[in-house]
Structure 1
Amino acid sequence: MHIERLDFENSPYLGVYGFASDRVVLLREGLGEKKLDVIRDVLKVPIIETSVMKSRIVGIFTAGNSNAIIVPWYIWDTELEHIQNSLRELGIDMEVVPFKSRLTAFGNLILANDRGALVSKEFTREEAKKIGEILGIEAERGVIADYTAVGSVGVVTNRGGLVHPEATDEELEWLRDLFKVDVYVGTANMGVPFVGSCMLANSHGVVVGHLTTGPEIVKIEEALGFL
């Protein structure tokens, strides 16, 4: 299966608690083994359970792609070392970069795949340039559907993308050029437009919140290149 429904302790907002790439998943601590097995089976990459700044909302604080993971400057040393050591033990050559900024909710503010990144206009141009350099891709500043929290209103992989249903045709065309994949509009969890907060996705599959409807799943599968 390329797609499965799941909940994290009855929460359908999976993207709040984890970060997924084509090489690894960072996930909040404390989920049961059955749910971890579902995530491994669908996304087909190893999982590193961790906290960030002593918080379980790992997906809010982390962003990245297959090249690097960006974490807040204020991450605890023990957390940073745990993630770095786990990657090393798994044989995954990825940088984990604490990024100094007044902003910390990188998962909400950065939308990236291995070909491009859209970063919130709340970042300075200099910060956007540095984010692109860390991730090894072109990074542009912008909004989606007038939202600066571009990471929460979108999800993008190396196969496709899904964004807020109020995104304009011009924005969709721009995002397709930036990410080099087809990008569509849609919702999850029974009409929630903040799709990035509702799922964990990579090029292998997607795990969506358990409230996501059948028609939404069809649209998600199409948008992320699984149909």
Structure 2
Amino acid sequence: MHIEKLDFENSPYLGVYGTATDRVVLIREGLGEKKLEVLRDVLKVPLIETSVMKSRIVGIFAAGNSNAIIVPWYIWDEELDVINNGLREHGIDMEVVPFKSRLTAFGNLILTNDRAALVSSKFTREEAKKLGDILGVEVERGMIADYHSVGSAGVVTNRGGLVHPETTDDELEWLRDLFKVDIRVGTANMGVPFVGSCMLANSHGVVVGHLTTGPEIVKIEEALGFLD
């Protein structure tokens, strides 16, 4: 299966609690083994259970692609050790970079795949360049549908992307050109427009919040390249 529905302790906002890449998934601590197994089966990469700044909302604070994961400067040393040790155990050569900024909600403010990154225009130009260098991709500053929270207003993989339904046609063309994948508009969890907060997705599959409807699932599958 390329897509499954799941909840985290009755919450449908899976993207709040994890960050998915094509090489690894960072996920909040304390999920049952059955739910972890669904994530492994669908996303097909190792999971590292962790907190960030002693919080379970890992997906709010962390963002990354196949090259690197960016975390707040204030991450605890023990948490950084957990992530780095997990990467080593799975033989994954990947950087975890604590990034110094007045902003810390990187998962909300960075949208990236392995080709490009869109970062909130709340970042300075200098910060945006540094973020692009860390992720190893072209970077642009901007918004999606007038929202700075580009990481929660969209989800993008190396196969496709889904963004806030109020995204304009011009913005869609710009995003397609930037990320080099087809990008469509849609919702999840019965009409929630902040799709990045509702799911965990990579090039192998997507796990969506349990409230997501059948028509929404079809659109998500099409947008993320899982339907011919």
Distance 1:30 1:78 in 2: 17
Pairing of 1:127-206 with structure 2 (within 5 A) = 127-206=127-206
CA distance in 2, matches of 1:149, 1:63: 12
Aligned amino acid, residue 170 of structure 2: E
- Equivalent in the alignment of 1:22: 22
Is 1:85 paired with 2:85? yes
Name 1:31's counterpart in structure 2. 31
Q: Distance in 2 between matches of 1:83 and 1:27?
A: 10
List per-residue Cα deviations over 1:169-207 (Å, max 9, x = no partner).
Answer: 000000001100000000000000000000000000000
Cα deviation code 1:21-73 (max 9, x no counterpart) = 00000000000000000000000000000000000000000001000000000
Does 2:141 align with 1:108?
A: no
Q: Which amino acid aligns with 1:4?
A: E
Partner amino acid, structure 1, of 2:119: V
Shift of 1:89: 1.1
Letter of the structure 1 residue corresponding to residue 8 of structure 2: F
What is the identity, as a one-letter code, of the residue corresponding to 1:166?
Answer: E
Aligned counterparts, 1:1-80, within 5 A: 1-80=1-80
Letter in 2 for 1:156: V
Aligned counterpart, 1:94: 94
- Report the AA paired with residue 157 of structure 1: T
Give the number of aligned pairs.
227
Structure 2 letter corresponding to 1:9: E
Deviations 1:46-103 (A, max 9, x none): 0000000000000000001000000000000000011011101110000000000000
What are the ranges of 5 or more consecutive residues in structure 1 without an aligned counterpart? none
Deviation, 1:131, is 0.3
Percent of aligned pairs sharing the same letter: 87
- Shift in Å at residue 116 of structure 1? 0.3
State the SS of the aligned residue for 1:151. helix
Q: TM-score, normalised by structure 1?
A: 1.00
Which runs of 4 or more aligned residues in structure 1 lie more than 4 Å from their structure 2 counterparts after TM superposition?
A: none
C-alpha RMSD of matched pairs (Å): 0.3
Cα distance in 1, alignment partners of residues 137 and 143 from structure 2:
18
Greater CA drift, 210-219 or 77-86: 77-86
Paired residue secondary structure (1:217): helix
Q: 1-side partners of 2:201 and 2:91: how far apart?
A: 22
3-state SS of the aligned residue for 1:74? coil
* TM-score, reference length from structure 2: 0.99
